[in-house]
Structure 1
């Protein structure tokens, strides 16, 4: 039986290993019961986006503009639009962030380069005052070839030399990031195998990526946990 005192978090997951990662234990500790809605397994259209206390849209190696071959993207944006209209808490990671941006009318397009690997963010003045401040100076995992522009009415939070728009927020209840703060570096092998074709095509040094995960994973996990803890506290 579900404890009525606990909150609910639903995460839309597109790829099995791109899950909540290190965010999972933080959510559980904060009193959330977590449920995944797995695209291609669960009926995405049957999901009520207004029911959970927190809705999270995770990453995937597809583009928001590929609705002709991945129709679920349009269904997902409809759910996001309804969630945005409600003002209830919404978190987007990588594709999730891009889907939120596109739903809000911002451009999402290929950058012409794959940003894959560990590198630090440059936080904006607003970013340094936001929960992302915990990531200042931390090597975070990047894994994308598309990027969003900042939607009207939203606050720009972070950038990198390859991607000027890495994160944005709207008030306290909406956060979208282009990078992967949630990635559990101890499970990097799943990413390396699952994205083997993309890595080969982008000529990424897999051994270096694996080594960087081992070197930076613990610091990223600690910083990302602090980020999420602070953001969740701001929802109360």
Structure 2
């Protein structure tokens, strides 16, 4: 089932986060991970720094997802080695579940696989590059006018680890473009999809490039040493952008709360 809405529009993130509830009072952010050893990385760090608790669940290993996000501040679906086109039950259930944050207009963020799942829920196609190319390493990103209006100071390059991309869903706003995979970031209401990985920490990069070294043999992938060389150049800008993005994204107001205030 795909979800449609006419609520997608670009509203710039606030420069300063409003006064927040204490960590004890704040609703947690739902974190959806896909491997036993996965972590929320820098996104988790940014949310904790803002005072949010994390409700970490792994549906692949039997964790249930909530029937509503009324008890959560938002949701983040992270990446993984699987495909949004896989027939596994948990993949299908996650894609269907995304209808809940879309319907309730809770802040929702999909990263890499999570963005592809969001695109699938919205009716877009997810597929490998036509020439078999991948993005594994640092690649240029070009924010659109809408992307710059939403969140300025985008980094020149961002970290990637994927072999599939997706079309821009109908009704979504394109926020950033790339070369081999044109759709790099988009917004649909309070839901955002990022094809790249601003969540990756230095330790995560070591694990990925060691355990996933075969990915660096694919067309378009960068060799391992370049991952670390370019991290030294682009990491600070990507981390600063992520901090600003997360602070603006998590305080977006659900539609129901806006209607209640009218």
TM-score range, shorter chain: 0.7 to 0.9
Do the aligned residues in 1 keep the contact of 2:32 with 2:58 (CA within 8 Å)? yes
Measure the CA separation in 2 of the matches of 1:14 and 1:232: 22
- Cα gap change, 1:94/1:212 in structure 2, threshold over 3 Å: closer, same or farther? same
Q: Does 1:181 align with 2:198?
A: yes
Distance (whole Å) between structure 2 residues aligned to residue 177 and residue 49 of structure 1 = 23
SS at match of 1:179: coil
Structure number with the bigger relative contact order (C-alpha 8 A, sep ≥ 6) is 2
The answer to whether the Cα contact below 8 Å between 1:101 and 1:150 also exists between their aligned partners in 2 is yes
Q: Give 1 or 2: higher strand fraction.
A: 1
> How many angstroms apart in 2 are the aligned matches of 1:94 and 1:225?
18
**1:127 alignment partner in structure 2:** 147
Quote the residue 2:157 is aligned against: 139
Q: Structure 2 matches for 1:97-112, cutoff 5 A? A: 97-111=115-129, 112=132
* Aligned counterparts of 2:205 and 2:236: Cα–Cα separation in 1: 12
Matched, 1:88 2:106: yes
Which residue of the partner structure matches residue 34 of structure 1? Answer: 54
Measure the CA separation in 2 of the matches of 1:200 and 1:39: 31
1-structure distance, mates of 2:214, 2:111: 22
Cross-structure match for 1:197: 214
Structure 1: runs of 5+ lacking an equivalent: none
TM-score (norm 1): 0.87
CA distance in 2, matches of 1:58, 1:93: 5
Moved more, 24-33 or 95-104: 24-33
How far apart in 1 are the matches of 2:39 and 2:141?
A: 22
CA contact (8 A) 2:133 2:218 kept: no
Aligned to 1:24: 44
Displaced runs of 4+ in structure 1, greater than 6 A?
A: none
Match of 2:75 among 55, 64, 82: 55
The equivalent residue for 2:188 is 170
Describe how 1:62-73 pairs up with structure 2 within 5 A. Answer: 62-67=82-87, 70-73=88-91
RMSD: 2.2
- The answer to whether the Cα contact below 8 Å between 1:106 and 1:152 also exists between their aligned partners in 2 is yes
1:223 to 241, 254, 261: 241
- Tell me how far apart the structure 1 counterparts of residues 210 and 68 of structure 2 sit (CA, whole Å): 32
**Distance (Å, rounded) in 2 between the aligned partners of 1:197 and 1:178:** 20
Secondary structure class of the residue paired with 2:176: strand
Corresponding pairs, count: 229
